[in-house]
Amino acid sequence: MKKKIALIFGVTGQDGAYLSKFLLKKNYKVFGVKRRSSIINTQRIDDIYKDINTKSNFVLFYGDLTDSSSILNLIKKTKPHEIYNLAAQSHVQVSFEVPEYSAEVNSLGALRILEAIKNLNLEKKVKFYQAGTSEMFGRTKEKYQNEKTPFYPASPYGVSKCFAHWITVNYREAHKIFACNGILFNHESPIRGETFVTKKIVKGLIRIKYGYQKKLFLGNLYSKRDWGHARDYVEAMWKMLQQTKPNDYVISTGKTFTIKEFVNRTAKKIGLRIRWTGKGINEKAIDIKNKKILIECKKRYFRPLEVEYLRGNSHKAKKLLKWSPKISIDNLIDEMIEHELEIL
């Protein structure tokens, strides 16, 4: 049987790394795309990465979602059966500082891939996955968010992803491309990026415990998020492209926790006994043993427009994809702690 070929944009990110390893186990040939940089940033895929001249089921190419010609050439060269667009300017806070760039990559990047599929007459040959986000729901008031919940993004990142979502729907309906949107809620792992809050919390608290760091600075402690594990979520991406008809799916755990609850669970697991005091921007966590302040809130870590509550309803994915999350938030934190202790 001929190997399936997958082309992954954003292969060096958390999701790209997990998806690559998942597909390799499924006997795929995987072509990964990363932006050219003077800094080596292939750490997440070092265990599977091979030189382009080496015969391997995983090959890395340079490309950029801001460059239509590179996208077109990559698709022509690799002849993929499946394309996964995981590349993005993915940091919500940063999107307020670089809104134009966020739109250029996140919005127009998705459009460029879809346009390349159309221009190469691959509508019947290629399946396309677009990485959406719960940030598209933003300031919604609904208790659970599903595929029918109206979008109300509260950041340039969320807005840019809404465009990518709807252009994917448009090309699916207008040009009959097998194109799916995965509306993924927060999903973490030991290889999460350094600036994301879960990574920041786990790494920071461990460094504090072992004397490498004095304090951890956070923003809104009461934002509620639906956290899953990236390893579970990449399986859902793949399942979407194995269906007979394209569709859009919310992928989530259906459980929500505050940032503060995530801190408390992590602190307890590593043996840090903390007590909270104060309110709002003045709230802080104190070490019960030595009375030192370990965690403080800083205004610069608050978003200009906060998203207070996100909680997904993945009934559709469970029914049609036969998908459900396997890894609990406690198991996720355990994995993240273990990883940080190994590299301390």
The CATH number of residue 31's host domain is 3.40.50.720
Active site annotation includes 249 = no
> What domain range is 108 assigned to?
5-190+228-253+310-327
pLDDT in tens, 72-102: 999 999 999 999 999 999 889 999 999 999 9
Candidates 210, 231, 201; CA nearest to 342 is 210
Active site annotation includes 296 = no
Candidates 101, 169, 188, 183; CA nearest to 138 is 183
Within a domain: residue 287? Answer: no
39 in helix, strand or coil? Answer: coil
Beta strands in the chain (DSSP E): 5-9, 29-34, 58-62, 82-85, 127-133, 178-184, 187-188, 216-218, 224-225, 228-229, 248-251, 257-258, 274-277, 284-287, 293-297
Within a domain: residue 295? Answer: no
Give the integer Cα–Cα distance in Å for 100 and 285: 37
The span from the first CA to the last CA of the chain, in angstroms, equals 45
pLDDT band per the 50, 70, 90 thresholds, residue 43 = confident
309 in helix, strand or coil? Answer: strand
Candidates 249, 10, 14; CA nearest to 132 is 249
Within a domain: residue 93? Answer: yes
Within a domain: residue 297? Answer: no
Catalytic residue among 49, 129, 157, 249: 157
Instruction: Give the per-residue pLDDT at 96.
Output: 95
pLDDT in tens, 192-210: 999 999 999 999 999 999 9
pLDDT band per the 50, 70, 90 thresholds, residue 55 = low
pLDDT in tens, 273-311: 999 999 999 999 999 999 999 999 999 999 999 999 999
User: CA torsion 17→309→322→236, rounded to 10°?
Assistant: -20
Amino acid at residue number 252: S
Split into its structural domains, the chain has a count of 1
Instruction: Give the per-residue pLDDT at 228.
Output: 98
Give the integer Cα–Cα distance in Å for 268 and 274: 8
pLDDT in tens, 144-164: 999 999 999 999 999 999 999
Do residues 243 and 178 touch, judged by C-beta distance below 8 A? Answer: no
Within a domain: residue 303? Answer: no
Give the integer Cα–Cα distance in Å for 29 and 33: 13
Catalytic residue among 28, 82, 84, 135: 135
Q: What's the whole-number mean pLDDT along residues 13-17? A: 96
Instruction: Give the per-residue pLDDT at 46.
Output: 82
Q: What is the mean pLDDT of the chain?
A: 95
Within a domain: residue 27? Answer: yes
Give the integer Cα–Cα distance in Å for 282 and 278: 5
Within a domain: residue 131? Answer: yes
Within a domain: residue 204? Answer: no
With 0-12 CB in 10 A as exposed, 13-18 as middle and 19+ as buried, what is 262? buried
Catalytic residue among 133, 168, 198, 253: 133
Active site annotation includes 135 = yes
pLDDT band per the 50, 70, 90 thresholds, residue 177 = very high
Instruction: Count CB neighbours of 63 within 10 A.
Output: 22
Q: What is the pTM of this model?
A: 0.95
